[in-house]
Amino acid sequence: MARQDIPIPREVYQQSLRALLGPITPLLDDPSISEILVNGPQQIYIERSGKLEDSGQQFDDPSDLMSAAQGIAQFVGRTISSEYPRLDARLPDGSRVHIILPPAARDGIHIAIRKFSQSKLTIEQLITWGSITEEAVEFLRATVSHKKNIIVAGGTGSGKTSLLNVLSTLITPDERIIVIEDSSELQLQQPHVVYLEAHPGDLKGKGKITIKELFWSSMRLRPDRMIIGELRGGEALDLIQAMTSGHGGSMSTTHATYPDDTLRRIETMALMSDVLIPHAVLREQVASAIQIVIQTSRFNDGSRGITHISEVQGLEGTKYILKHCFLMENQHSAEPHERKLVATGYTPDL
Ligand SMILES: Nc1ncnc2c1ncn2[C@@H]1O[C@H](COP(=O)(O)OP(=O)(O)OP(=O)(O)O)[C@@H](O)[C@H]1O
Ligand SMILES: [Mg+2]
């Protein structure tokens, strides 16, 4: 075997990556930190208990930050440079990273790290934190067991993925679940799960695997349920069509701030698909495919919670008809104890 062919053990890469990450490494090791945001070599913000603060850390030399970015890229077998200035990656501990640098970023290298939480969130924790109530959990348990199609929607970092993970614990263990993600984040507790992950491919696009392709594979893998980590583009149409063709009980998340926006956003994403479908038909499909929208929000005090659990009842002209089952009272109150998710009194026929 030629000298350069001797494989370097993964642990060696991990150790050298820890060294290259410099001031980021102790922040990664600190379990009280949930997010790390590097804005150039001299400013590193962190999120602790849902609040952003300056970590006071910095890179001694600006070139060390570029080395850290390149170290991350190398670890996942990719390139980051002015020619390829954006990168999505995962660190050895599972943390999700996005790197962007000039010319795509105006004033230097930015790295955002969403730390992988070792402890899995539970329903009990969400109830203790006031993010959900027992009554709402029982309602959601019924919608999951009746195989309703559910979308969790909310702003960035509002707890969508965490809630999807918790919702998946309501699925009975005898079901075969296929999970499709851009970058693996979900950690289901069920025994029978197939995880599929998209891949960006090399610089020429070789080896690229899209969410859409994984979606088609998943249909041939005999799913009882499909969980799509996040809807971002044309794959929304594939999901809607699967949902309307007998794949009940599917779940996904998307970025939107209000249940009505959520449905419109999914409609717009489905229009991005390369399959042309009349807009009116698409709207009808969205209205019949999605049965429950759960809206999450991140509040000023750093906490996260559910603001709406709504049933999609159909269409009236071009408008979606939504009926709220649970609503957060005093959503805009600065006092966390005043915010409460309450049942509206409306219970859909499941
Ligand atoms: N109910 C909650 N209460 C407090 N913190 C939470 C709650 N749910 C999630 N978090 C924390 O909020 C952060 C963001 O959570 P998560 O990744 O689930 O959000 P997201 O909406 O999926 O984000 P993105 O928009 O980036 O995909 C994580 O650090 C997570 O631990
Ligand atoms: Mg997410």
Q: What is the pLDDT of residue 202?
A: 78
CA of 196 to the centre of ligand 1 (A): 22
Q: Which of 48, 304, 328 to mutate to test the pocket of ligand 1 (most atoms within 8 A of CB)?
A: 304
- In terms of domains, do 241 and 216 share one? yes
- In terms of domains, do 154 and 105 share one? no
- In terms of domains, do 134 and 244 share one? yes
Average pLDDT of the chain to the nearest whole number = 92
Q: Rounding to the nearest 10 degrees, give the CA dihedral for residues 22, 28, 32, 34.
A: 120
Is 6's pLDDT higher than 70?
Answer: no
Q: What is the pLDDT of residue 8?
A: 62
What is the distance between the terminal CA atoms of the chain, rounded to a whole angstrom? 64
| Site of tokens 């490494």 | 25
CA of 278 to the centre of ligand 2 (A): 30
- In terms of domains, do 296 and 188 share one? yes
CA atoms within 13 A on the CB side of 261: 12
Average pLDDT of span 7-20: 78
Q: What is the pLDDT of residue 335?
A: 83
| Site of tokens 């509002």 | 158
Last residue of a domain, one of 79, 96, 114: 114
- In terms of domains, do 25 and 94 share one? yes
With a Cβ cut-off of 6 Å, ligand 1 is lined by: 34, 50, 114, 117, 126, 129, 131, 154, 156-162, 303-304
- In terms of domains, do 130 and 263 share one? yes
Question: Is 95 inside any structural domain?
Answer: yes
- In terms of domains, do 234 and 310 share one? yes
Confidence of residue 302 (pLDDT cuts 50, 70, 90): confident
Question: Is 348 inside any structural domain?
Answer: no
- For the chain, state the CA radius of gyration: 21
- In terms of domains, do 192 and 50 share one? no
Average pLDDT of span 53-78: 94
Relative to beta strand 44-48, strand 177-181 is unpaired
> What is each CA distance from 310 to 69, 139, 297, 321, 328, in whole angstroms?
42, 11, 15, 10, 12
Last residue of a domain, one of 57, 89, 114: 114
Question: Is 350 inside any structural domain?
Answer: no
- In terms of domains, do 110 and 133 share one? no
Is 85's pLDDT higher than 70?
Answer: yes
- In terms of domains, do 89 and 137 share one? no
Confidence of residue 338 (pLDDT cuts 50, 70, 90): confident
The overall pTM is greater than 0.85: yes
- For residue 232, the domain's CATH number is 3.40.50.300
233-262 per-position pLDDT tens digit:
999 999 998 898 888 999 999 999 999 999
Question: Is 245 inside any structural domain?
Answer: yes
Q: Which of 33, 161, 163 to mutate to test the pocket of ligand 1 (most atoms within 8 A of CB)?
A: 161
Least confident of 9-13, 17-21, 22-26, 95-99: 9-13
Question: Is 349 inside any structural domain?
Answer: no
Distance separating alpha carbons of residues 99 and 92, to the nearest angstrom: 16
183-227 per-position pLDDT tens digit:
888 999 999 999 999 988 877 888 999 998 999 899 999 999 999
- In terms of domains, do 170 and 31 share one? no
Domain count, the chain: 2
26-65 per-position pLDDT tens digit:
999 999 999 999 999 999 999 998 889 999 999 999 999 9
Q: What is the pLDDT of residue 7?
A: 64
Domain residue limits at 80: 3-114
Is 264's pLDDT higher than 70?
Answer: yes
Question: Is 294 inside any structural domain?
Answer: yes
Question: Is 63 inside any structural domain?
Answer: yes
Q: Rounding to the nearest 10 degrees, give the CA dihedral for residues 163, 165, 168, 169.
A: -100
Last residue of a domain, one of 83, 114, 145: 114
Q: What is the pLDDT of residue 50?
A: 83
CA of 97 to the centre of ligand 2 (A): 12
Element (H, E) at 260: helix 259-271
- For residue 29, the domain's CATH number is 3.30.450.90
- In terms of domains, do 129 and 101 share one? no
Question: Is 278 inside any structural domain?
Answer: yes
CA of 161 to the centre of ligand 1 (A): 7
Confidence of residue 1 (pLDDT cuts 50, 70, 90): very low
